[in-house]
Structure 1
Amino acid sequence: MDSSSSPARLQAPARSRGSSNASQRWGILRHAVLARSSSRAPEGTSRDQHIKDGTINISRKASRGFNLIECHSLPISQLTKSLENSTDGNENDLGYQKDVCVYYKLPCGGSSKLNLVYRREDSLELNDMEASNRYNIDTTGLVCCWPSEEVLAYYCINHSDKFRAKKVLELGSGYGLAGLVIAACTNADEVVISDGNPQVVGYIQKNISINAETFGETKVKSMILHWDKEQASGMLNTFDIIVASDCTFFKQFHESLARTVKSLLKHSATSQAIFLSPKRGDSLDKFLGIIKENGLNCELIDNYDPTVWNLHKKYEAGDDKTWPNYDKEHCYPLLYHGVNPELDIDWTFQNCFSLLYGSTNKTVHRHSIANKPFLI
């Protein structure tokens, strides 16, 4: 979800911005490699300062999100006791130098709240890139909590009945906001929050430990899950609901993601996969093509929540200036909903329409996937 660091940069031609950003990224990598191979940083400047200067200027993420869930920064020192309990008192694991903490007040009744520890946005390190190459993963989960993840969390709160007594899996979760919200607000039976990046999963587990008292009877755990690996037999076809946000950006992962969903989703009339993702050029369309090739049924919906939709239209029209670099293709997540391919399609069509549309005053386009109708 690309953005620039100043209004002036927003006016630059797309090709110029892309070239500049690429140069900045290569510069960061060069400084990191040089510093790694030498004990002395470039003349007059520390290695960390060089990297920080570059990361401030490059395009890394959206400047903001939809602000659907009240969120405030929190001094990480206030979580010292919880963090010490979750890390066996090892101060180095507390991440005071590179972590920040945020407090979410959840709109799901009572006084539900979540405290999440994130990596500070200017703490790019060379070993992050090394881990990406070693595990064939991306590092976007370390960058921030992306707007699509926030929208997914908000959607799950507003459809909490879907998750009651269900076994839920979040794929490519990043810091796991949506999975943690499901655990805190929906009375799910079990929530598994997964990512392919071991560093990210470390943060997920830390956040689970910090918020353990918020989850009630819901079992919550983290796990490393690579989509291109064969999954453990004990996990196959065991999840009632699979959720994910912004997981279709990298086209090289489309095939393995589709296979993972198909193999882990339970063979049940109520099982479903709920994904949220922006179009991002032709990325989403290509993923839907892969879904078709794998025989999965799905529907794609643009207006799935009135609050999110109204905010989107204001940002798109420029009526709300708080998100100046808002772009529909990269910022507004569409909801796509998949079901077990062995289900009866008439049941699927009627019930999904009722659950996701809520009323009949919306335009529905019928297409065909695996010779069965689905919604776009």
Structure 2
Amino acid sequence: MNKVHSPTLSNDRKTIALQRWKILKQALTGSRSSETRTSDGSIRRFSGYGLLKTEKLSMTPEGSVWYQYTAPSQPGFAMSVRHLPGTIDASTLLGFNNTGNVCVWPAEEVMTDYCLKNSEQFRDCSVCELGGGMTCLAGLALAIVSKATSVLISDGNEDSVENLNVILSHQDNQSQFDNTKVSSRLIRWGGDTKHEDLEGRFDFVLCADCLFFDDGRADLADLIFDILKPNGKAIIYAPHRGPTFESFRDLAQKQFHVDAQEKYSPEVWDLHCKMKMNESGIYDENIHFPLLMTLTKHS
């Protein structure tokens, strides 16, 4: 689906956009709140688990904000990341999924933490992050700390990919890539979209919180299967969001060996349990707590 800039929409396209916005708003805020979030996280019901820390560096004239990301568990690690400005509404969802431009989702934070703590797993491997939004934090972190052969970070939204290009060109990031080939690209799934040049190319695929649109799950499973090498693995973090996690798991079992876990990290599990005990109502495990699904492609 091509991105549409015109404010004049057909009734059918308006209906699709509004339906997607309704789903996204529930995902962003939970059913008990009418809040939305801005790209810099200024209005959020749940800000994350504290696995990553941010320090504001600067703001561009257009309103984008540069942050330095660090991780308490990884002394010396730092990456420069630009967040896009503004909020999201139904009209911005008319084109390809724009959810990654809203904020950094908890699943991306947890997946980044996993990559930082398990970077040796990716040594001499080719890695692709799908649907990483405006930051692709996990893929960027891997490009910096691992000895991966190559890391491709991607999203299906043009604005996100343009921002990824800017992030990769930042000198503070480039100076840390060493011999890892790092690139960004527009990757979409569904419809007649094909990526023949990526087939069988990757040892690992990373994906965070991309399962909640019903019409995209089967296509995502097919894309992951196509671009993985035999015995390649996909590491997927996503919350339940009703039946969406289980629906994707059922689809994936037709093509992969599937392993799903909720107690994948003692640290994250402990934080999750503490959040559940908080009576403020801010934390909703259905939309905030990411489960881990690992897909292994049969040889």
TM-score class, shorter-chain normalisation, is 0.7 to 0.9
Of 204, 213, 236 in structure 2, the residue corresponding to residue 275 of structure 1 is: 236
Which residue pairs with 1:2 in the alignment?
28
Q: How does 1:191-270 map to 2 (within 5 A)?
A: 191-210=151-170, 211-228=173-190, 229-268=192-231
Q: CA separation of 1:107/1:166 partners in 2, compared to 1, >3 Å: closer, same or farther?
A: farther
Match for 2:283: what amino acid?
Y
Q: The residue matched to 2:183 in structure 1 has which SS? A: strand
User: Is 1:102–2:67 an aligned residue pair?
Assistant: yes
Match for 1:145: what amino acid?
V
Select between 99-108 and 65-74 the one with higher mean Cα deviation.
99-108
Which residue pairs with 2:148 in the alignment?
188
Q: Distance in 1 between matches of 2:74 and 2:179?
A: 17
- Rg larger in structure: 1
Greater strand fraction, Structure 1 or Structure 2: 2
Q: CA separation of 1:302/1:109 partners in 2, compared to 1, >3 Å: closer, same or farther?
A: closer
Gap runs ≥5 in structure 1: 5-13, 26-53, 77-94, 343-376
User: Is 1:311–2:276 an aligned residue pair?
Assistant: no
Match for 2:263: what amino acid?
N
Q: How does 1:151-190 map to 2 (within 5 A)?
A: 151-174=110-133, 175-190=135-150
What are the superposed Cα offsets for residues 65-121 of structure 1, whole Å, 9 maximum, x if unpaired?
011022222223xxxxxxxxxxxxxxxxxx42321121112457563311111013x
Q: Distance in 1 between matches of 2:161 and 2:45?
A: 23
Q: Is the CA contact 2:38–2:103 (under 8 Å) kept in the aligned structure 1? A: no
Q: CA separation of 1:325/1:110 partners in 2, compared to 1, >3 Å: closer, same or farther?
A: closer
Q: List, as ranges, runs of 4+ consecutive aligned residues in structure 1 with deviation greater than 2 Å.
A: 1-4, 59-63, 95-98, 106-112, 229-234
Q: Distance in 1 between matches of 2:187 and 2:283?
A: 32
User: Is 1:67–2:50 an aligned residue pair?
Assistant: yes
Instruction: Quote how far apart the aligned CAs of 1:237 are.
Output: 0.8
Match for 1:327: what amino acid?
D
* Cα-Cα RMSD: 2.6
Instruction: Quote how far apart the aligned CAs of 1:186 are.
Output: 1.3
Q: Is the CA contact 2:38–2:102 (under 8 Å) kept in the aligned structure 1? A: no
Which residue pairs with 2:101 in the alignment?
142
Gap runs ≥5 in structure 2: 1-26
Q: Distance in 2 between matches of 1:141 and 1:281?
A: 20
Of 76, 84, 87 in structure 2, the residue corresponding to residue 111 of structure 1 is: 76
Q: CA separation of 1:180/1:62 partners in 2, compared to 1, >3 Å: closer, same or farther?
A: farther
User: Is 1:327–2:284 an aligned residue pair?
Assistant: yes
Which residue pairs with 2:295 in the alignment?
338
What are the superposed Cα offsets for residues 124-153 of structure 1, whole Å, 9 maximum, x if unpaired?
377x935x434xx22111101111101000
Higher relative contact order (CA 8 A, sep 6+): 2
What are the superposed Cα offsets for residues 37-58 of structure 1, whole Å, 9 maximum, x if unpaired?
xxxxxxxxxxxxxxxxx979xx
Q: Distance in 2 between matches of 1:203 and 1:223?
A: 11
Q: Distance in 1 between matches of 2:297 and 2:242?
A: 27
Q: Is the CA contact 1:129–1:139 (under 8 Å) kept in the aligned structure 2? A: no
Q: The residue matched to 2:201 in structure 1 has which SS? A: coil
Greater helix fraction, Structure 1 or Structure 2: 1
What are the superposed Cα offsets for residues 328-374 of structure 1, whole Å, 9 maximum, x if unpaired?
111100000000123xxxxxxxxxxxxxxxxxxxxxxxxxxxxxxxx
Provide the TM-score with structure 1 as the length reference.
Answer: 0.66
Instruction: Quote how far apart the aligned CAs of 1:249 are.
Output: 1.2
User: Is 1:301–2:261 an aligned residue pair?
Assistant: yes
What are the superposed Cα offsets for residues 224-265 of structure 1, whole Å, 9 maximum, x if unpaired?
001114433221011000001001011110011000001000
Which residue pairs with 1:89 in the alignment?
none
Equivalent pairs counted in the alignment come to: 267
Provide the TM-score with structure 2 as the length reference.
Answer: 0.82
Q: CA separation of 1:197/1:65 partners in 2, compared to 1, >3 Å: closer, same or farther?
A: same
